Amino acid sequence: MKSKKINSLKVITSANEMQKISLAIRRKGKKKVSLVPTMGALHDGHLSLVRKAKKKDGIIIVTIFINPIQFNNKKDLEKYPSTIKKDIAKLEEVGVDYLFAPKLEEVYPKGYQTKVSVTDFKNHLCGATRVGHFDGVTSVVLKLFNITIPDYSYFGEKDLQQLIIIKQMVKDLNLPIKVISIPIVREKDGLAMSSRNIRLSKKARKIAPLIYKGLTRARDEFKKNNKVITKKIIKNLRTYYSSKNITCIEYIKIINPKDLSYPLTPDTKDYILVAIKLGSIRLIDNLKF
């Protein structure tokens, strides 16, 4: 057995062992398995997924694996925060049953070849510049699904495109898993929680909450006049951001989350999404109209 018991949290590093444990739980049939996949550097956003999962009163598995094949930028991968000891303490505190924290070779052993691709959705929004990113995400998530065999899996709405793509994969591949999404958790000043926030410079951290402020202004513009066209909302948001020295905008888009289409006039079901670089840190955020 390669596992180590830390209070009630069991830390598993072997995929085989994790799979055996999940299979045994599933076979007993008494408890449902909930999975919260993460790359670590856990914050309240991740813990809100765990807390939601705990409401099911089953077995909770959190995974921590910094997945290299979803990073299109080598530097971003190298600088991705790793805080495993703190993460374990947080998971113990919130009451997680298993942490699956495999080494790289455990997930991608020598000779590994398979990738999974959600072929259209992966090219939009973040996928337009982060080439290969979503293939990396879907490949690892499917693998984590196969290792942990969950009934439910939890994903945050901050990575809205990721959520839409994973739901599509689950549907396309008839995976017997219910994907549950959880609203964005924000800092007091409105900044969406992200593992990347700790890498923001002081100056960037100061202006970062204005990303969300801009989104709320765009939503208010729509609420005041629901005939307003997408183009105008986006133009006004660009003007607002540039007035606040937020100039490195990768995209501002309004989407229908059902099919990732771009409506000419938004609807209350639609979302406005942004990807913005502050210094070298790329942040994403979104808001429902």
Rounded CA separation 215/252 (Å): 10
Rounded CA separation 56/181 (Å): 14
Contact region with ligand PAF (CB under 6 A), list: 22-30, 37-45, 101-109, 230-238 = 37-45
Considering only residues 69 through 128, tell me which ones interact with ligand PAF, judged by CB under 6 A. 70
Applying CB under 6 A, does 67 fall inside the site for ligand PAF? yes
β-sheet bridge partners, residue 253: 273
Applying CB under 6 A, does 58 fall inside the site for ligand PAF? no
Q: Which x/- pattern, by CB under 6 A, does the window 152-191 give for ligand PAF? A: -------x--x-----------------------------
9 vs 169 by CB, closer to ligand PAF: 169
Least distance to ligand PAF, CB of residue 80, Å: 10
Do residues 150 and 180 touch, judged by C-beta distance below 8 A? no
Instruction: Examine the residue annotation and report whether 43 is marked as an active-site residue of this protein.
Output: no
In our burial notation (b when 16+ CB lie closer than 10 A, e otherwise), range 161-183 reads bbbbbbbbbbeeeebebebbbbe
77 vs 229 by CB, closer to ligand PAF: 77
Alpha-carbon 184 to chain mean position: 10
- Candidates 194, 195, 145; CA nearest to 167 is 145
Applying CB under 6 A, does 270 fall inside the site for ligand PAF? no
Specify burial of residue 192 (Cβ count, 10 A radius: 0-12, 13-18, 19+): buried
Please give the residue ranges that form the binding site for ligand PAF (CB under 6 A).
37-39, 67, 70, 137, 140-141, 159, 162
Active site residues: 46
